[in-house]
Structure 1
Amino acid sequence: MAKRIIRKVAVIGSGIMGSGIACHFANIGVDVLLLDIVPRELNDKEKAKGLTLEDKVVRNRMVNDSLKAALKSKPSPIYSQAFAKRITTGNLEDDIAKVKDVDWIIEVVVERLDIKQQVFENLEKHRTPGTLITSNTSGIPIQFMNEGRSEDFQKHFCGTHFFNPARYLKLFEIIPGPKTDQGVLDFLNNYGEQYLGKTSVVAKDTPAFIGNRIGIFSIMSLFHTVKEMGLTIEEVDKLTGPVIGRPKSATFRTVDVVGLDTLVHVANGIAQNCKDDERKELFDLPDFINTMMENKWLGSKTGQGFYKKTKNAEGKTEILSLDLDTLEYRANKRAKFATLELTKTIDNVADRFKVLAGGKDKAGEFYRKSFAHLFAYVQNRIPEITDELYKIDDAMKAGFGWEHGPFQIWDAIGVEKGIELMKAEGLDVATWVTDMIASGSTSFYTVDNGATHFYDIPSKKQTKVPGQDAFIILDNIRKQTEVYKNSGVSVQDLGDGILNVEFRSKMNTIGGDVLAGLNKAIDIAEKDFAGLVVGNQGANFSVGANIGMIFMMAVEQEYDELNMAIKYFQDTMMRMRYSAIPTISAAHGMTLGGGCELSLHADKVVAAAESYIGLVEFGVGVIPGGGGSKEMALRASDTFKKGDVELNVLQENFLTIGMAKVSTSAYEAFDTGILQKGKDIVVVNKDRQIATAKAHAKLMADAGYTQPVKRNDVLVLGKQALGMFLVGTDSMEASHYISEHDKKIANKLAYVMAGGDLSEPTKVSEQYLLDLEREAFLSLTTERKTLERIEHMLKRGKPLRN
Structure 2
Amino acid sequence: MSEKLLVRRAAVLGAGVMGAQIAAHLTNAGIDTVLFDLPAKEGDKDGVVRKALANLAKLSPAPLSSKSLAESIVPANYETGLAELESCDLIIEAIAEKMDWKQDLYRKIAPHVPAHAVLASNTSGLGINALADVLPEELRHRFCGVHFFNPPRYMHLAELIPAKTTDKSVLEGLEAFLTTQLGKGVVYAKDTPNFIGNRIGVFSILSTIHHTQESNLGFDEVDALTGPLLGRPKSATYRTSDVVGLDTMSHVIKTMADTLPEDPWHEYFASPKWLTALIDKGALGQKTGAGIFRKAGKDILVLDLEKQDYRASDRKAADEVVVILKSKDPAERMAQLRASEHPQAQFVWSILRDLFHYSAVHLEDIAETARDVDLAIRWGYGWQQGPFELWQAAGWKQVADWIAEDIVAGKTMSSAPLPDWVFDGREGVHAAEGSYSPSKNAKLPRSALPVYRRQRFPDPLLGERFEQGETVYENDGIRLWTDGDDIGVISFKTKMHTVSDHVLDGIQEAIGIAEQKFKGVVIWQPKEPFSAGADLAGALGLLQAGRVDAFEAMVENFQKTSQRIKYSLVPVVAAVRGLALGGGCEFQMHSARTVAHLESYIGLVEAGVGLLPAGGGLKELAVRASEAAGPNGDVFAELKKTFETIAMAKVSNSAVNAKELGLLRNDDIVTFNAFELLHVARQQASALAEAGYRPPLPARAIRVAGDVGIATFKMLLVNMLEGRFVSEYDYEIAERIATVLCGGDVDRNAVVDEDWLIRLERKHFVELAQQEKTQARIGHMLKTGKPLRN
2:539 to 550, 553, 557: 550
Q: Which residue does the alignment assign to 1:445? A: 430
Q: Name the % identity.
A: 36
Q: Structure 2 vs 1, CA of residues 9 and 708 (structure 1 numbering), >3 Å: closer, same or farther?
A: closer
Distance in 1 of aligned mates of 2:679 and 2:320: 39
**Could you tell me which of 708, 717, 728 is aligned with 1:729?**
717
The 1:402/1:481 distance shift into structure 2, 3 A limit, reads farther
Structure 2 distance, partners of 1:244, 1:643, is 61
**Structure 1 counterpart SS, 2:543:** helix
- 1:691–1:414 distance in 2 versus 1, CA, 3 Å: farther
In structure 2, C-alpha distance between the alignment counterparts of 1:491 and 1:232, rounded to whole Å: 50
Distance 1:757 1:770 in 2: 15
Looking at structure 1, the residues matched to 752 and 324 of structure 2 have their Cα atoms a distance apart, in angstroms, of: 52
Structure 2 match to 1:718: 706
CA shift for structure 1 position 652: 1.8
Q: Deviations over 1:158-207 (max 9, x none)?
A: 21111111111121112122322222212211111111111112211100
TM-score, with length taken from structure 2 = 0.92
Equivalence for 2:494: 505
Aligned to 1:283, which of 269, 276, 299? 269
Deviations along 1:633-688, one digit per CA (max 9) or x if unpaired, are 1111221226532211122222221121211110111111111112x101011111
- Residue matched to 2:16: 15
Determine helix, strand or coil for the equivalent of 2:424.
Answer: helix
Deviation at 1:343? 8.5
8 A contact 1:357–1:364 mirrored in 2: no
* Residue identity matched to 1:357: M
The whole-number CA distance in structure 2 between the counterparts of 1:344 and 1:386 is 30
**3-state SS of paired residue (1:773):** helix
Structure 1 pair 561/244, CA: closer, same or farther in 2 (3 Å)? farther
CA distance in 2, matches of 1:521, 1:232: 54
Separation of aligned partners in 2, 1:430 and 1:539: 39
Instruction: State which of 629, 637, 640 in structure 2 corresponds to 1:640.
Output: 629
| 2:357 aligned with 1:376 | yes
Q: Which whole-Å CA distance do the structure 1 matches of 2:479 and 2:402 have between them? A: 36
Most deviating of 483-492 and 500-509: 483-492
Report how far residue 354 of structure 1 moved.
4.4
Decide whether the 8 Å contact of 2:622 with 2:704 is kept in 1: yes
Q: 2:193–2:260: 8 Å Cα contact kept in structure 1?
A: yes
Q: Does 1:220 align with 2:206?
A: yes
Query: Partner of 2:663: helix, strand, or coil?
Result: coil
Q: Measure the CA separation in 2 of the matches of 1:66 and 1:381.
A: 38
Task: Report the 3-state secondary structure (helix = DSSP H, G, I; strand = E; otherwise coil) of the residue aligned with 1:587.
Answer: strand
Q: What is the letter of the counterpart of residue 24 of structure 1?
A: H
1:187 aligned onto 2:173: yes
Structure 1 residues not aligned, in runs of 5+:
41-52, 312-316
User: Of residues 75, 78, 81 in structure 1, which corresponds to 2:61?
Assistant: 75
Query: Counterpart of 1:357?
Result: 334
In 2, Cα distance between equivalents of 1:366 and 1:578:
59
Indicate if the aligned counterparts of 1:478 and 1:492 stay in contact, CA closer than 8 A: no
Flag the 1:498–1:2 CA change in 2: closer, same or farther, 3 A. closer
Determine the C-alpha separation between the residues in 2 that align with 1:170 and 1:131.
24
CA apart distance, 1:444 = 2.8
Task: Return the match for 2:98 from 109, 112, 126.
Answer: 112
- Whole-angstrom distance in 1 between the partners of 2:573 and 2:494: 20
Q: State the partner residue of 1:211.
A: 197
Q: Partner residue of 2:48? A: 62
Q: 1:596 aligns with which of 582, 585, 607?
A: 585
**Structure-2 separation of matches of 1:375 and 1:159:** 27
- Equivalent residue in structure 1 for 2:455, among 471, 485, 501: 471
Distance 1:480 1:671, change over 3 A: closer
Aligned to 1:386: 367
Match of 2:257 among 271, 274, 286: 271
- CA shift at 1:621, angstroms? 0.9
In the alignment, structure 1 residue 764 sits paired with structure 2 residue 752: yes
> How far apart are residue 548 of structure 1 and its match?
2.1
CA deviation map 1:282-327 (0-9, x unaligned): 323333323333333221122111210112xxxxx22112224334
Give the corresponding residue for 1:46: none
- 1:617 matched residue in structure 2: 606
The CA distance in 2 between the partners of 1:162 and 1:169, in whole Å, is 8
Whether contact under 8 Å (2:197, 2:373) holds in the other structure is: yes
SS of equivalent to 1:623 = coil
SS for the counterpart of 1:178 is: coil
How far does residue 480 in structure 1 lie from its aligned partner after superposition? 5.6
State the secondary structure of the residue aligned to 2:576: coil
Counterpart of 2:569 in structure 1: which amino acid?
Answer: A
Deviation at 1:577, TM superposition (A): 1.5
1:634 is matched by which residue type in structure 2?
V
In structure 1, the residue matched to 2:774 is 786
SS in 1 for 2:57: helix
> Equivalent residue for 1:45?
none
Matched, 1:608 2:597: yes
Matches of 1:358 and 1:527, distance apart in 2: 54
What does residue 436 of structure 2 align with? 455
Long gaps (5+) in structure 2? none
Q: 1:420 offset after TM fit, Å?
A: 4.2
* Paired letter, 1:530: K
- Going from structure 1 to structure 2, the CA distance change for 1:106 and 1:392 (only over 3 Å counts) comes to same
Amino acid at match of 2:727: S
Q: Does the 8 Å contact 1:507/1:540 carry over to 2?
A: yes
- Could you tell me which residue of structure 2 aligns to residue 705 of structure 1? 693
Partners of 1:353 and 1:486 lie apart in 2 by 32
C-alpha displacement of 1:28: 1.0
* Partner Cα distance (1:37, 1:542) in 2: 46
What's the RMSD between the two structures over aligned residues?
2.4
**How far apart in 2 are the matches of 1:578 and 1:425?**
66
The answer for the alignment partner of 2:530 in structure 1 is 541
The equivalences for 1:4-153 within 5 A come to 4-40=5-41, 53=42, 55=43, 57=44, 59-153=45-139
- 1:748-772 deviation line (CA, Å, top 9, x unaligned): 1122112221235333332221221
Deviation string 1:582-609 (CA, Å, 9 cap, x unpaired) is: 2111111122112111111111111001
What is the Cα deviation at residue 549 of structure 1? 2.1
**Distance in 1 (alpha carbons) for counterparts of 2:21 and 2:162:** 23
CA distance in 1, matches of 2:538, 2:508: 19
- Measured after TM superposition, the shift of residue 783 of structure 1 is 1.6
2:392 aligned with 1:411, yes or no? Answer: yes
TM superposition score normalised by structure 1: 0.91
AA aligned to 1:659 is: M
| Number of residue-to-residue matches in the alignment | 769
Query: What CA distance in whole angstroms lies between the structure 1 residues aligned with 2:7 and 2:68?
Result: 21
Q: Distance in 2 between matches of 1:212 and 1:372?
A: 18
| Residue number in structure 2 paired with 1:434 | 423
Structure 1 counterpart of 2:158: 172
Task: Report how far residue 380 of structure 1 moved.
Answer: 1.9
Bigger shift: residues 396-405 or 703-712: 703-712
Report the secondary structure of 2:119's partner residue: strand
SS of 1:515's equivalent?
helix
Q: Deviations over 1:355-386 (max 9, x none)?
A: 64354664544443332222222122221011
Residue deviations 1:66-99, cap 9 Å, x none? 1211232222111112222321112211112322
**Counterpart selection for 2:143 from 145, 157, 164:** 157
Matched, 1:687 2:675: yes
After superposing the two structures, state which structure 1 stretch, 379-388 or 720-729, moved more: 720-729
Find the aligned partners of 2:502 and 2:215 in 1 and give their Cα distance: 46
Alpha-carbon separation, structure 1, partners of 2:325 and 2:369: 34
CA distance in 2, matches of 1:72, 1:751: 36
Contact 1:244-1:352 within 8 A present in 2 as well:
no
CA distance in 2, matches of 1:494, 1:767: 37
Are 2:531 and 2:580, in contact at CA under 8 Å, matched by a contact in 1? yes
> Which amino acid is the alignment partner of residue 72 of structure 2?
R
Does structure 1 retain, via aligned residues, the 8 Å contact 2:25–2:152? yes
Instruction: State the secondary structure of the residue aligned to 2:35.
Output: strand
Instruction: Give, in whole Å, the separation in 2 of the partners of 1:404 and 1:487.
Output: 30
8 Å CA contact 1:369, 1:425 repeated in 2? no
Partner Cα separation in structure 2 for residue 31 and residue 543 of structure 1: 35
Task: Report the Cα offset of residue 210 of structure 1.
Answer: 0.8
